[in-house]
Amino acid sequence: MSNELIRFSVAMPEDLLAQFDELVERRGMARNRSEAVRDLVREALVDQECADPDALVVGTLTISFDHHSHDLQDKLDHIQHEHFDRIVSKLHVHLDAHNCLEVVVMRGPARLIQDISNAILGTKGVKNGKLVLTTATEA
């Protein structure tokens, strides 16, 4: 695949273009529309690849919970130990006297990473959370 830039034009309504320009400026995505479009295309391709249940992905699961919830930390640790071969790292942050935040980094097939995340998110006492996936290439 060549890295040569190919020009093409895109037609869109003026109001949509104005919103796109605002997005580019707000997010600092690029110095120009072309780079912003390239970033959006790359993001869409990553999302498409991560949608394949067999794709090798890296995921970060961020959750918040009240650490006073009965046996919650033990339950979370148990789930993570069951999948020690997929858990790369975990960051635990004390937000205040009651609330904690954890970020769990996982690597593996998208379906399995989603299943592990669902098990953690479904654990009684987890207040909320979100899984973010990206592609993982083997070295």
Terminal Cα distance for the chain, rounded: 20
| Distance in angstroms (rounded) separating the CA atoms of residues 43 and 37 | 10
Domain ranges, ordered by start, for the chain: 14-50, 56-135
The pTM (predicted TM-score) of the whole model is 0.83
pLDDT digits (tens, 9 = 90+) for 90-136: 999 999 999 999 999 999 999 999 999 999 999 999 999 999 999 98
On whether the CB atoms of residues 50 and 110 are closer than 8 A, the answer is yes
On whether the CB atoms of residues 86 and 107 are closer than 8 A, the answer is yes
* Nearest by Cα to 53 from 11, 101, 114: 114
* Nearest by Cα to 103 from 59, 62, 51: 62
CATH code matching the domain that covers 56-135, chosen among 2.60.200.20, 3.40.190.100, 3.30.70.1150, 3.40.50.300: 3.30.70.1150
On whether the CB atoms of residues 24 and 36 are closer than 8 A, the answer is yes
Hey, which bits of the chain come out as E strands?
56-66, 87-94, 99-109, 126-135
What average pLDDT does the segment 79-88 reach?
97
On whether the CB atoms of residues 89 and 60 are closer than 8 A, the answer is no
pLDDT digits (tens, 9 = 90+) for 37-71: 888 999 999 999 999 999 999 999 999 999 888 89
